Structures are given as C-alpha cells and as structure tokens.
Amino acid sequence: MQVVSLASGSSGNATLVQGESGALLIDAGISQRSVVQRITQLGTPLETLRGIVITHEHGDHITSAVALAQRYHVPIFASHGTLHALAVASHIRTVPLQALQPLLIDDIHITPIPVSHDAAEPMAIKVQLKSVCAVIATDLGVWDECLVDACTDADLVVIEANHERERLHLSSYAPHLKLRIASARGHLDNIQAGLFLARIAHNKRRRHAWLAHLSQEANSGDLAIRSVRTVLRMHQAEQYFATITPLPRNQHVVWGAEQRSSQSCFLDDL
C-alpha cells in the first residue's frame, strides 16, 4: 500500500491510497485538472481509481469529487450525513459509510471514525491492506479515545496540526472565525496534535506521522514540527516516530508501505 498526499490545507485536501490493483482517493478538494495531473505524475493510471471517499462536505474536501466520480464512473463513499449535505445528483453512485463499520473496496479496507467538526457527519478514515494500516484524520476540534484506538495498528498516522494557538489569536482572521477554528468542532492546534501523537505512542509501536491541514497564516511547517516534537519529548514519546513530516500545500508526499520507513517528497510543477 502506498499513501500519497496530493494536497493539504484549507486551499484543498486530497490523499491517494494505492492498493495492489486499485486506488482510492480520500477527499478531492482540488480541481479535477490538478487531481488528474498529480495522479498521472505518480504513474498511476486513473482507470485504477475505485472510488472517492469524502470525509465531510466542506469545500476544501469536495471541489472535484462529483466531476471525478462522473468521469471515471466510480462511486462516492461518505457518511449518510455527508451524502445528504452533498446532495449529489442521482446518476452518481453513492455508498453510505457507517461509523466504525469496515468496508472492503477492491483490496483496501476502509473504516470511518467519527470526529468532532462543524460538518454534518464528519469522519476520519482508517485504511488497511493486509497488515499495513494508515489513519487519515483532518478537520477535528478535539481528539478522543475512539481515534486513539483506530491508530493502534497504524504504520502511518496523518493528523491535523492546523495552527499554533498564539499565531491564530494574532492572525487577521475575524474574531468569529478564530473562535470557530479553536473550538471543539474546529481544528486541532499543534499542541493538541502533539498530545494525540504522545497518546498513541503508549503502545510503543514505531510509526510515521504526517502533520496535515496546516494553516497558511497561523502555522508553518517548521513551527508545527517544533511544537509537536516538544510535546513528544515532554512525554518521552519522540522515539516512537520514525519520521514526522509536515505536509506541504501543493507538493506530493509519498509514503510506501513496502519498507514501512520509506518516504519521498518531490516538487509539483504546477
């Protein structure tokens, strides 16, 4: 299994999960053209796309979902609440996801994990192929033990580290937006992300972490990784992470399960 971040952040989120014979797109928050270009760059034929999994209905996760589903004749998978909010035309096939109920798509098991966010029925997504497991959790105001449990066997954990709390307060965002972002149904800050990673390290499993959905104004890759590593050091948990990578907005980051420690990053030419 290979996991590729195609885009991350409030300007668009999309993650490709490649199995042995097919691929899944988790969120499609960038243009159809960008998705096609970026997946083609990876050498993955779009015809192997088996479905599009949508975590929730916010614009930065759904931009090209319907267009791609239509073009490649694949279903959209999402919770009942998300599907209802999306109001997809009836000629697009949709498959409802039930919280904590695994579903096999091609050779990839996906399990939706409920999260706290200001959307209809938002989910984090756990993906598994044989013994390899990744969890993708963005857009959540707080984390809970349900998400911790989902990460027990995860080799790769993608966790939101949206903002540095101090920077958010000093940012130019409107007061109501700052409150929304910092709320329990908003976005995780760097410290919360660090505490989550420290918590999942309790089982002493060594793994990889990606820091996702970084705010352009209220965070930076350097700041996110510094804050997260400080929290992990305070909890003697840093050694359980082989790599910790802040995801760039518009560059691919590739995690390959073959070695379970390989990771590469290359510039997007868009």
Residues in contact with Zn ion by the rule CB under 5 A: 58, 60, 139
Q: Closest approach of Cβ 213 to Zn ion, in Å? A: 6
Of 30, 28, 9, 31, the closest CA to residue 17 belongs to: 28
**Smaller CB distance to Zn ion: residue 198 or 214?**
214
**Smaller CB distance to Zn ion: residue 139 or 164?**
139
Q: Closest approach of Cβ 163 to Zn ion, in Å? A: 12
Residue in this structure with the two tokens 């034929």, named with its chain if needed: 45
**Smaller CB distance to Zn ion: residue 115 or 198?**
115
Of 212, 197, 231, the closest CA to residue 163 belongs to: 212
**Smaller CB distance to Zn ion: residue 12 or 51?**
12
Which token pair is 164?
């540095």
**Smaller CB distance to Zn ion: residue 82 or 128?**
82
Q: Closest approach of Cβ 168 to Zn ion, in Å? A: 15
**Smaller CB distance to Zn ion: residue 60 or 238?**
60
Q: Are the C-beta atoms of residues 248 and 11 closer than 8 Å to each other?
A: no
Residue of minimal Cβ distance to Zn ion: 58
Is residue 219 classed as helix, strand or coil in its secondary structure? Answer: coil
- H/E element, 89: none
CA contacts within 13 A on the Cβ side of 250: 9
Compute how many other C-beta atoms are within 10 angstroms of the C-beta atom of residue 254: 16
CA distances in angstroms from 224 to 70, 80, 81, listed in the order given: 37, 33, 32
Q: Closest approach of Cβ 138 to Zn ion, in Å? A: 6
Question: What are the residues whose beta carbons fall under 8 Å from the beta carbon of 256, sequence distance 6 or more?
Answer: 2, 262, 263, 264
Q: Are the C-beta atoms of residues 255 and 264 closer than 8 Å to each other?
A: no
Q: Closest approach of Cβ 216 to Zn ion, in Å? A: 12
Q: Closest approach of Cβ 46 to Zn ion, in Å? A: 24
